[in-house]
Amino acid sequence: MTLFDHPAFEGHESVNAFFDEKTGLKCIIAVHSTALGPAAGGCRMWPYASADLALEDALRLSRAMSYKNAMADIPLGGGKAVIIGDARTQKTPALFEAFGRAVDALGGRYWTAEDVGVSPADLTHARRETRYVAGLEGHAAASGDPSPVTAEGVFRGVALSVRRALNRDLDGITVAIQGVGHVGAYLADKLHAAGAKLVITDTNAEALRAVADRTGAKVVSPADIFEAQADVFAPCALGGAINAETLPRLKARIIAGGANNQLATPEVGRALFERGMLYAPDYVINGGGIINVAAEIAALEAGTSFDAAWVAAKLDRLTETLDEVLARSIAERRPTHEVANEMAKARIAEAARARLAAWR
Catalytic residues, by residue number, are 80
Q: Please state, in angstroms and rounded to a whole number, the distance separating the CA atoms of residues 323 and 157.
A: 9
C-alpha to C-alpha distance for 259 and 147, rounded to whole angstroms: 12
Q: What angle do CA 332, 71, 83 make, to 5 degrees?
A: 125
Sequence-distant (6+) residues with CB within 8 A of 151 are 182, 183, 184, 186, 187, 190, 258, 288
Angle at CA of residue 125, ends 121 and 127, nearest 5°: 105
Q: What are the C-alpha distances in Å from 271 to residues 142, 191, 249, 360?
A: 42, 28, 13, 45
- How far apart CA 116 and CA 6 sit, in angstroms, is 24
Contacts with 224 (C-beta within 8 Å, 6 or more apart), sequence order: 201
Degrees, nearest 5: CA angle 212-272-181: 25
d(CA 43, CA 269): 26
Residue 294 CA to residue 39 CA, distance in Å, equals 11
Give the residue among 319, 14, 315 at the shortest CA–CA distance from 161.
Answer: 319
Look at the chain and count its residues: 360
CB-based contacts of 23: which residues, under 8 Å, 6+ apart?
A: 92, 94, 95, 97, 98
DSSP, collapsed to helix, strand or coil, labels residue 255 as strand
Q: How far apart are CA 126 and CA 93, in angstroms?
A: 8
